[in-house]
């Protein structure tokens, strides 16, 4: 099925909308239910997105009893069977790798096809293998299959990099190991912290939540607790803020945790964006009409630094800013590919290498047919379409819908002229150009 968005841009967004739950928090939490062998686990504020549905499909394949309705997800994993996970299930999204930790810790062996997901350049699984080898597993993987086996024991783990999913896998595995596991160089993103809070409520002792050193004392079995509410999606918030700024609109976002967006909002302030936050109501008000955008230098970094997933929508904002902006993407060599789509719409972009680019603004964007190259690039194209003069058609919307819950409906509520269209698949967009690799001697 070919899904597209058709957008008639130039309309200032106006109104109030509630943010959905976080994709990046929901997926490791769903994986964690494989460790709970007795009671049902209940989550609320769960986003109804493709990646969540894909994770549910895998749990049902393993034998879990799952119901998902109106943002409430109920999972019973008491009777699951440890089966090899085939490519047609795990190749759809990268986060399927989060199943390694729970299955290996619970059964002593795990086998699965290599996970898929967005094409953002080489995304090694070496950090995950390093975690499990330090816990005592043997890596028996082949070119086609991830295969780990062995009895895990608590130990001192040092991650080779600040990998979010490898940190989450380490936490998940350690949660049912008797004794203490120390994790050094742990990632501390908000969704990692949410996973820690969930596990603590179910009997696991975790010290250092929110830091780069975690000490996890596992328990033989996790016990039931009250429903766990998924944290709001900071990446959806970033997209909405970007759209308000570029369309010169005024919007109010409900259910916002400002502390999850410290670096992003600081950049918004530095470029001249006007916003206010009410700590009591958790509402963020963005006033694009009063904002006077100017250029800035941005470097992505691990939390609490500027998030890589918000660089694409911020790049669109900076096409409307006065001056020369320098973007420095530290993590993924494929992240800058969306800038080619922006060039089609009239943006003035200069590529320095696969990690750095300049945006010279302001420039008037014009509606074009553009591609959604990955989840976050697709959201950036939505912001560009809302900003542009004329009609924009965004292809490959299935990427966007992997990570954003009813994004087009929320934008319609804010007054955007955006329409979701379904039709027969016409194959991949062949006009996407890769970011050029500049080699240095």
Domain ranges of the chain: 2-20+232-423, 23-229
| pLDDT for position 425 | 56
CB–CB of 386/7 below 8 Å? yes
Report the range of poorest mean pLDDT among 75-89, 185-199, 426-440: 426-440
- Model confidence at 333, pLDDT cuts 50, 70, 90, reads confident
The CATH number of the domain covering residues in 2-20+232-423? 3.65.10.10
Q: State how far the Cα of 411 lies from the Cα of 422, in Å rounded to an integer.
A: 18
Q: State how far the Cα of 339 lies from the Cα of 348, in Å rounded to an integer.
A: 9
Least Cα distance to 235 among 387, 75, 49 occurs for 49
Report the range of poorest mean pLDDT among 1-5, 319-323, 325-329, 398-402: 1-5
Model confidence pLDDT, tens digit, residues 210-260:
999 999 999 998 887 789 999 999 999 999 999 999 999 999 999 999 999
Flag whether pLDDT at 432 surpasses 90: no
Q: State how far the Cα of 376 lies from the Cα of 184, in Å rounded to an integer.
A: 29
Q: State how far the Cα of 126 lies from the Cα of 115, in Å rounded to an integer.
A: 13
Token pair belonging to 215: 């000490």
Model confidence pLDDT, tens digit, residues 399-422:
899 999 999 999 999 999 999 998
| pLDDT for position 424 | 67
Q: What is the DSSP letter of 21?
A: B
| pLDDT for position 433 | 39
In residues, how long is the chain?
441
Model confidence pLDDT, tens digit, residues 391-400:
999 999 988 9
196 flagged as catalytic: no
Q: What is the DSSP letter of 365?
A: -
CA distances in angstroms from 138 to 104, 130, 152, 239, 339, listed in the order given: 11, 10, 10, 42, 42
Q: Which of 8, 118, 215, 257 is catalytic?
A: 118
Fold of 23-229: UDP-n-acetylglucosamine1-carboxyvinyl-transferase; Chain (3.65.10)
Give 3-state DSSP helix, strand, coil % of the chain, rounded to 5.
35, 25, 40
CB–CB of 45/282 below 8 Å? no
**What contacts 80, CB < 8 A, 6 or more positions away?**
34, 59, 62, 63, 64
Flag whether pLDDT at 441 surpasses 80: no
């Amino acid at each position: 099925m070919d899904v597209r968005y058709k957008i008639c841009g130039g309309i200032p967004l106006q109104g109030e909308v509630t943010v959905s739950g976080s994709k990046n928090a929901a997926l490791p939490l769903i994986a964690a239910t494989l460790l709970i062998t007795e009671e049902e686990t209940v989550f609320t504020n769960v986003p109804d997105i493709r990646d969540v549905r894909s994770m549910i499909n895998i749990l049902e394949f393993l034998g879990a009893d799952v119901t998902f309705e109106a943002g409430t997800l109920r999972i019973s994993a008491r009777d699951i069977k440890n089966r090899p996970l085939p490519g047609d299930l795990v190749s759809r999204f990268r986060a399927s790798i989060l199943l390694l930790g729970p299955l290996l810790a619970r059964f002593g062996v795990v086998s699965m096809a290599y996970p898929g997901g967005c094409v953002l350049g080489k995304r090694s699984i070496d950090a995950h293998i390093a975690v499990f080898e330090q816990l005592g597993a043997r890596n028996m993987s082949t070119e086609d299959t991830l295969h780990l086996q062995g009895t895990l024991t608590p130990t001192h783990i040092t991650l080779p990099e600040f990998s979010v999913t490898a940190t989450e896998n380490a936490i998940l595995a350690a949660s049912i190991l008797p004794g203490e596991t120390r994790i050094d160089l742990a990632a501390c993103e908000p969704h990692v912290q949410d996973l820690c809070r969930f596990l603590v409520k179910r009997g696991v002792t975790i010290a250092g939540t929110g830091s780069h050193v975690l000490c996890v004392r596992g328990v033989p079995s996790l016990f039931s607790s009250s429903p766990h509410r998924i944290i709001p999606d900071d990446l959806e918030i970033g997209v909405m803020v970007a759209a308000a700024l570029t369309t010169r609109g005024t919007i109010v976002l409900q259910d916002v945790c400002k502390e999850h967006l410290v670096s992003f909002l600081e950049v918004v302030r530095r470029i001249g964006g006007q916003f206010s936050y009410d700590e009591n109501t958790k509402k963020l008000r963005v006033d694009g009409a009063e904002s006077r955008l100017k250029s800035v230098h941005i470097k992505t970094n691990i939390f609490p630094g500027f998030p890589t997933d918000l660089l694409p929508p911020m790049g669109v904002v900076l096409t409307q800013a006065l001056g020369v902006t320098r973007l420095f993407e530290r993590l993924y060599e494929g992240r800058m590919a969306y800038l080619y789509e922006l060039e089609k719409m009239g943006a003035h972009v200069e590529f320095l290498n696969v990690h750095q680019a300049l945006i010279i603004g302001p420039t008037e964007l014009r509606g074009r047919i553009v591609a959604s190259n990955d989840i976050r690039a697709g959201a950036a194209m939505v912001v560009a379409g809302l900003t542009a003069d004329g009609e924009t058609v965004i292809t490959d919307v299935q990427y966007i819908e992997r990570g954003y819950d009813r994004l087009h409906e929320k934008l319609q509520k804010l007054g955007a002229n955006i329409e979701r269209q379904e039709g027969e698949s016409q194959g991949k967009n062949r006009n996407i150009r890769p970011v050029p690799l500049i080699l240095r001697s």
